[in-house]
Structure 1
Amino acid sequence: MSKFVNQTVFLFAVICFSGCSQGKKDSTPWKSLIEDNTLNGWNIKGGEATYTINDGVITGTTVKNTPNTFLTTDKNYDDFILELDYKVDSTMNSGIQIRSNSLPTYRDGRVHGYQIEIDPSKRAWSAGIFDESRRGWLNPLKDNPEAQKAFKQNDWNHYRIEAIGDTLKTWINDVPAAYLIDDKTASGFIGLQVHSIHRNQKEGTTISWKNIKILTEDLEKYSKESPLKPIITKNQLTIKEKDSGWKLLWDGKTTEGWRGAKLEAFPEQGWVIENGELIVLSSGGAESAAGGDIVTEALYGDFELTVDFKLTPGANSGIKYYVDTNINKGKGSSIGLEYQILDDALHPDAKLGNHKGSRTVAALYDLIQADPEKPINLIGTWNTAYIISKDNHVEHWLNGMKVLEYERGSEAFLKLVSKSKYVKWPNFGLLEKGQILLQDHGDRVAFKNIKIKSL
């Protein structure tokens, strides 16, 4: 073959390769989260690990005797597609925070929210989904060996993260990793974590990130299908909850384990189950006048209880505990200690009661006001109630903040009862065991993720 022919073939190959490469060029309208080789638009939260940037590469370095540190975006993001590259020291643990927050009302500002794990250990759960400082593992990779094998040790790895509505999907080096449906948090910052280190770990180990880019518009056009089966958290126990003894108090589908407070069976009207939500219907605001309250068939003594609830405008309801349905078989609600559920802005009960604020949301109804700085989410969105009762010490929490506490049977408690509507009920609130109750107060209120742990 002549030299001329060889040169022609080579030139043709170069042109074809160039054309093919141009044809694969990414036309997605990404926006870089790194501006002008600076950390403008980012701030540090949590610990005292250090971050530097050089040639568009952000590097975080471990420091001893400091908690987890996060370099977070100044801006919050709700729905987005995020891509980035990272390289991590093989002895470290790290992660990418998404839809995360740092709130004064939550553990003194501790960073919490979804974390896309970076895990160079033998476990190899990189790109799994962890709930930082809240619920723990939501979507580990123990059943996804292909994703576990995709991580490249001591090399650059590529993540794609989609957060659209209640759906979170991840890929590691183009291999589908996690697929989670969870609606706990809809918006928050993006963060780069430098994990705290133990005493025997070497200080000064690093993790680096580059090519951090985000897309926030036309997401349906650019979203990718995942072949994985989604993990759905609604009305399910997390790994952490299973391991620590929690049980579902409502299965999300049936009325099993519940009955009407003044009935032998579950009410035939007034309550419905829709889309994994247990809903008391509106009937004009009367107390226990339609379907009536519902109670657990089982009795509980010392316990932890968590319930997600969603109010409609002007609604009133409650979560009662240590209930005895044999008390007050007449009109009105069954008797028990009550975690108040209320639209404080629109319902007149917020201004009533013998003790100021004792009928507002999260209060011990008619007895103790919840902290006025309580973190209540907007009407029509979900809030989380948490109640713990152990050795007569009781606490009410709302959205991760303790809002009141008291001692059942104490002198202070008995004095409050003596000046309340409950004074006519002997030994009010002092049962050793009782039922859990969800109240029908004639307003539409939804419940889900009802879970309990006996102590």
Structure 2
Amino acid sequence: MKNVFLAIFLLCSVSVSAQNWQSLFNGKDLNGWQKLNGKAEYKVVDGTIVGVSKMNTPNSFLATKKSFGDFILEFDFKIDDGLNSGVQFRSDSRKDYQNKRVHGYQFEIDPSKRAWSGGIYDEARRGWLYSLVADKMAQKAFKNNQWNKARIEAIGNSIATWVNGVPCANIWDDMTKTGFIALQVHAIGDASQEGKCVAWKNIRICTEDIEKYQTANKAVEKNCIVNSLSPEEKEEGWALLWDGKTTNGWRGARLSGFPEKGWKIEDGILKVMKSGGAESANGGDIVTTRTYKDFILKVDFKITKGANSGIKYFVSPDMNKGAGSAIGCEFQILDDDVHPDAKLGVMGNRQLGSLYDLIPAPKNKPFVKSEFNTAMIVVKGNHVEHWLNGVKLIEYTRDNEMWNALVAYSKYKNWPNFGNLIEGNILLQDHGDEVWFKNVKIKELK
């Protein structure tokens, strides 16, 4: 009898679950959809929507006429080699925004060697919000020349994606809360790619009781709301090291207060201003008002053309009484393509992401953006790691014979016990070039 009741319960549960889902495509025609922007062809073939690439047209979109806010969206997709595509969600097309250009979140479809299918791109706005550069498992989820299953959960500020059940992207963002869903056929610049196809089927959405169907296993979260902490970050113990508005928690490396010149707070960005390229000769370096021991530090930074700066840790502001920057270990920030320092030092140890003048970052760095990139420094006792955009660049152990020998052959050889402090200040460097900082966060380790 118990088994009978259990069977009835499960049957009812399945029925209720099915009732909460609705198909966005009837398998026969494009009723409920409209084409926007480009002139690529969309047609229905054997119960699928097929988009066909076309030369001399911008990105094309087949959009739902209805908008959606919180939802779980599932669909199957298949794409020919050489194309790029995506599925827009919480997106819009307005006359007052770039003459009706489609913009908003996009679930990436990427059959190239880069393999970023499932990443989140902000179409016609901020660019990449969540690439898959650091996640090899997510990169392998997409199956070329096969049907793949996608899932998007957009609930409040939380947006997460999966490809074939593998977690791919996970952001916390509040820029857009509602909008249409659209199937993209990307513009092409090569006539040999004309006529290639991307197809979608089994497009269904759940907009009721969606919390019941949320997936627990997600990718690592990235908070896209500037200078804020998501609920997950707060729970994990993260704190803002800069609040995005004031100079609280910071002072000049050689001052009791914050520099009166050389630094600017503007639209949630902390900027060190250009002053000729000299080291700490204008506003000067700024340091935290307290010291840190074991921690994970994250800093988003943007390099202007030809700029030089750095993030230092284990800093003792009183060590250097002369000209130049305060002394400490440095995550180098540099325009490697333009600044001459990139060719100095030994084996590239003055290039972006390196432990300055000591340990070089790899020559083939991860995806480096022209906008903001994320530096991460991990310190656990004497073990230190440098990360860039989610990829580990270097790791080292300090306060041993090898470390001291390395220091002895660097520009720091005359500084006693360099890099071996138990704790120190964190520093943002004024090297006379304009560099921007935001989302400065720290998690102290116990």
TM-score (norm 1): 0.60
- Do the aligned residues in 1 keep the contact of 2:132 with 2:169 (CA within 8 Å)? no
| Corresponding position of 2:134 | 106
1:29–1:438 Cα change, 3 Å: closer
Structure 2: which amino acid aligns with 1:295? Answer: V
1:137–1:345 Cα change, 3 Å: closer
* Residue 280 (structure 1) shift: 0.2
Please give the secondary structure, in 2, of the residue aligned with 1:320.
strand
Counterpart mapping for 1:356-375 below 5 A: 356-375=347-366
* Residue 210 (structure 1) shift: 6.0
Count of residues in correspondence between the two structures: 313
1:267 aligned to 259, 264, 272, which one? 259
* Residue 138 (structure 1) shift: 1.5
Task: Measure the CA separation in 2 of the matches of 1:324 and 1:276.
Answer: 28
| Corresponding position of 1:158 | none
| Corresponding position of 1:147 | none
Kindly provide the CA deviation profile for residues 273-309 of structure 1, in whole angstroms up to 9, marking residues without a partner as x. 0110000000000000000000000110000000000
Task: Measure the CA separation in 1 of the matches of 2:151 and 2:227.
Answer: 22
Structure 1 unaligned runs (5+)?
Answer: 1-23, 43-67, 85-94, 120-124, 140-165, 174-189, 193-206, 212-230
Please give the secondary structure, in 2, of the residue aligned with 1:363.
coil
Task: Measure the CA separation in 1 of the matches of 2:32 and 2:379.
Answer: 60
Task: Measure the CA separation in 2 of the matches of 1:129 and 1:428.
Answer: 44
* Residue 410 (structure 1) shift: 2.8
1:420 aligned to 410, 417, 420, which one? 410
Kindly provide the CA deviation profile for residues 17-42 of structure 1, in whole angstroms up to 9, marking residues without a partner as x. xxxxxxx9976547777763458779
- Do the aligned residues in 2 keep the contact of 1:318 with 1:338 (CA within 8 Å)? yes
* Residue 81 (structure 1) shift: 5.6
| Corresponding position of 2:172 | 138
Counterpart mapping for 1:304-323 below 5 A: 304-323=296-315
1:32–1:127 Cα change, 3 Å: farther
Please give the secondary structure, in 1, of the residue aligned with 2:407.
helix
Kindly provide the CA deviation profile for residues 155-197 of structure 1, in whole angstroms up to 9, marking residues without a partner as x. xxxxxxxxxxx94342599xxxxxxxxxxxxxxxx999xxxxx
2:398 aligned to 398, 408, 412, which one? 408
* Residue 372 (structure 1) shift: 1.3
- Aligned Cα RMSD in Å? 4.0
| Corresponding position of 1:129 | 159
| Corresponding position of 1:208 | 202
| Corresponding position of 2:424 | 434
Q: Does 1:170 align with 2:162?
A: no
Structure 2 unaligned runs (5+)?
Answer: 1-30, 53-73, 89-100, 107-116, 122-127, 142-149, 182-197, 206-222
- Do the aligned residues in 1 keep the contact of 2:76 with 2:203 (CA within 8 Å)? no
| Corresponding position of 1:249 | 241
Structure 1: which amino acid aligns with 2:363? Answer: P
1:83–1:410 Cα change, 3 Å: closer
TM-score (norm 2): 0.61
| Corresponding position of 2:84 | 75
1:27–1:301 Cα change, 3 Å: closer
- Do the aligned residues in 2 keep the contact of 1:315 with 1:347 (CA within 8 Å)? yes
Deviates most, 33-42 or 411-420? 33-42
| Corresponding position of 1:337 | 329
* Residue 393 (structure 1) shift: 0.9
| Corresponding position of 2:65 | none
- Do the aligned residues in 1 keep the contact of 2:272 with 2:433 (CA within 8 Å)? yes
| Corresponding position of 2:45 | 36
| Corresponding position of 2:56 | none
1:98–1:347 Cα change, 3 Å: closer
Task: Measure the CA separation in 1 of the matches of 2:199 and 2:420.
Answer: 47
Structure 1: which amino acid aligns with 2:341? Answer: D
1:261–1:83 Cα change, 3 Å: closer
* Residue 134 (structure 1) shift: 8.1
Task: Measure the CA separation in 2 of the matches of 1:430 and 1:248.
Answer: 26
- Do the aligned residues in 2 keep the contact of 1:339 with 1:365 (CA within 8 Å)? yes
**Percent of paired sites with the same residue:** 46
Structure 2: which amino acid aligns with 1:356? Answer: M
Task: Measure the CA separation in 2 of the matches of 1:34 and 1:439.
Answer: 56
| Corresponding position of 2:26 | none
- Do the aligned residues in 2 keep the contact of 1:97 with 1:116 (CA within 8 Å)? no
- Do the aligned residues in 2 keep the contact of 1:327 with 1:334 (CA within 8 Å)? yes
* Residue 371 (structure 1) shift: 1.4
Task: Measure the CA separation in 2 of the matches of 1:191 and 1:288.
Answer: 56
- Do the aligned residues in 2 keep the contact of 1:287 with 1:332 (CA within 8 Å)? yes
1:116–1:129 Cα change, 3 Å: farther
- Do the aligned residues in 2 keep the contact of 1:127 with 1:171 (CA within 8 Å)? no
| Corresponding position of 2:436 | 446
- Do the aligned residues in 1 keep the contact of 2:309 with 2:433 (CA within 8 Å)? yes
Counterpart mapping for 1:12-27 below 5 A: none
- Do the aligned residues in 2 keep the contact of 1:131 with 1:137 (CA within 8 Å)? no
- Do the aligned residues in 2 keep the contact of 1:135 with 1:240 (CA within 8 Å)? no
Structure 1: which amino acid aligns with 2:381? Answer: D
| Corresponding position of 1:394 | 384
Task: Measure the CA separation in 2 of the matches of 1:453 and 1:263.
Answer: 26
1:434–1:336 Cα change, 3 Å: same
Kindly provide the CA deviation profile for residues 344-377 of structure 1, in whole angstroms up to 9, marking residues without a partner as x. 0110100111x21100000000000001111252
Please give the secondary structure, in 2, of the residue aligned with 1:422.
coil
Please give the secondary structure, in 2, of the residue aligned with 1:278.
strand
Task: Measure the CA separation in 1 of the matches of 2:105 and 2:369.
Answer: 31
Task: Measure the CA separation in 2 of the matches of 1:446 and 1:282.
Answer: 11
Task: Measure the CA separation in 1 of the matches of 2:32 and 2:169.
Answer: 40
- Do the aligned residues in 2 keep the contact of 1:98 with 1:116 (CA within 8 Å)? no
1:76–1:249 Cα change, 3 Å: farther
Kindly provide the CA deviation profile for residues 114-140 of structure 1, in whole angstroms up to 9, marking residues without a partner as x. x98448xxxxx489523776884525x
Task: Measure the CA separation in 2 of the matches of 1:319 and 1:138.
Answer: 26
1:127–1:446 Cα change, 3 Å: closer
Please give the secondary structure, in 1, of the residue aligned with 2:232.
helix
Please give the secondary structure, in 2, of the residue aligned with 1:110.
helix
Please give the secondary structure, in 2, of the residue aligned with 1:240.
helix
Kindly provide the CA deviation profile for residues 374-423 of structure 1, in whole angstroms up to 9, marking residues without a partner as x. 125244x1111011010211110111111111011133222210100101
Please give the secondary structure, in 1, of the residue aligned with 2:234.
helix
| Corresponding position of 1:240 | 232
